[in-house]
Chain A
Amino acid sequence: MSTAVRTTEEIAARVKALEALMIEKGVMTTEAVDRLADIYENEVGPQLGAGVVAKAWTDPEFKARLLQNATEACAGLGIGGLQGEDMVVVENTDTVHNVITCTLCSCYPWPVLGLPPNWYKGPAYRSRIVREPRKVLSEDFGLDVPDSVEVRVWDSSSEMRYWVLPQRPAGTEGLDEKALAALVNRDSMIGTGAPKAA
């Protein structure tokens, strides 16, 4: 169907036409589309994943469960849903740094991270992070992984979606879960960034 380059106006019109046809067919309602758009734009986001990370940092028993079965552990916190059915959390350590991608399209754990940023979905990141991960992390994201640390790139698919449990920043011993969660940003759970320093 992508036979010609379409203008933004043409595509917007096509989306509008599709919605009108599907409403007439009873496949969806305007209210349902509005509500879903609102949920995914405003309600689901990396703050949910940040809460999970902070809990794992403070509760060893929860962390063990999260690494064993992330989908179940998150469901226990009321976090789950579409594109979160088969999640695997990979843990960063002193010797291993993890980063996620989806080489085929844009599989991403929506319920914990929200929707992926545009660069995650783009061909450049998807191909380069596999070929030269250390270089991409350094040049595109300013994240220098020491040579002594192994970099592992995980390819998410519709069958299994990865996300990263970053290392707890030094000097945060006195912080509670809420304060810790505020240090966790989206990129630290993708593996293209580090949590904020305390």
Chain B
Amino acid sequence: MAFRQDTTELSEARRRIEILVGDLPRPGVGGAAADRSFEHPWELRAFAMAVAAYHNGQYEWSEFQLSLIESIRKWESDGGGEPWSYYEHWLDALETVLAGNGALSDTALDDRTRAVLSTPKSANHHEAHREPVAIDPAR
């Protein structure tokens, strides 16, 4: 798919500006984990998906941001009971905007999530394969 202009600009910016000696900033609030942008792989994935869907023209970025603000506001007004997870709100916002424009149905996502969960991680790897998987015979 074709990215919008800004992705190309970012790549060019990277090429043009030398990677300067990185100075890891001090940990700030909460130590090293707090200083990272992503804590789990799914967070980066959810992040990139929101940008990809935006590039695909599914919504205006401001729509996504309003949805994100609303999700966080709701969490705060509910007393912040669940443990704080920024990217859960991000995912919530993404689901909301995609459902809002008809690209996603909640039921379909729930069903597919159950399917993913019920598929063993090693679905295709739970048996030892004792023979070569391919042979290119001697000629």
Q: Identify the A interface with B (CB < 8 A).
A: 1-2, 5-6, 8-22, 25, 27-29, 32-37, 39-41, 43-45, 47-48, 50-51, 77-83, 104-107, 111, 114-119, 121-125, 140-142, 158, 178, 181-187, 192-193, 196
Q: Name the residue of chain A whose CB is nearest to the CB of B117.
A: A13
Q: Using A21-B109, A105-B89 as known contacts, list a sample of 7 further A-B pairs with CB atoms less than 8 Å apart, ordered by residue number in A.
A: A8-B42, A13-B116, A36-B52, A81-B6, A118-B33, A182-B21, A182-B23
The majority secondary structure among interface residues of chain A is: helix
- The interface residues of chain A lying within 8 Å CB-to-CB of B128 are none
Number of A-B contacts (CB under 8 A): 228
- The interface residues of chain B lying within 8 Å CB-to-CB of A36 are 7, 48, 51-52, 55
Q: How far is the CA of A66 from the CA of B137 in the complex (A)?
A: 67
Q: Identify the B interface with A (CB < 8 A).
A: 1, 3, 6-7, 9-14, 16-26, 28-30, 33-42, 44-49, 51-56, 58, 61-62, 65-66, 68-69, 71-73, 75-76, 80, 82-84, 86, 88-89, 91-92, 94-96, 98, 103-104, 106, 108-109, 112-113, 115-117
Is the Cβ of B29 less than 8 Å from the Cβ of A21?
no
Given A39-B7, A78-B12, verify A142-B84 contact (CB < 8 Å). Answer: no
What's the least CB distance linking B99 to chain A, in Å? 9
Is the Cβ of A47 less than 8 Å from the Cβ of B20?
yes
Q: Which of A14, A82, A124 contacts B109 (CB 8 A)?
A: A14
- The interface residues of chain A lying within 8 Å CB-to-CB of B37 are 41, 114-118
Given A28-B52, A33-B49, A107-B65, verify A41-B17 contact (CB < 8 Å). Answer: no
Is the Cβ of A82 less than 8 Å from the Cβ of B51?
yes
Q: Name the residue of chain B whose CB is nearest to the CB of A6.
A: B88
What's the least CB distance linking A80 to chain B, in Å? 5
Is the Cβ of A28 less than 8 Å from the Cβ of B20?
no
Is the Cβ of B12 less than 8 Å from the Cβ of A193?
no
Is the Cβ of B34 less than 8 Å from the Cβ of A119?
yes
- The interface residues of chain A lying within 8 Å CB-to-CB of B24 are 185
Is the Cβ of B49 less than 8 Å from the Cβ of A28?
yes
Is the Cβ of A27 less than 8 Å from the Cβ of B58?
yes
Q: Which of B21, B41, B49, B86 contacts A12 (CB 8 A)?
A: B41
Q: How far is the CA of A28 from the CA of B19 in the complex (A)?
A: 30
Closest 8 CB pairs of A and B: A81-B6, A17-B112, A37-B48, A119-B29, A36-B48, A28-B52, A115-B37, A13-B116
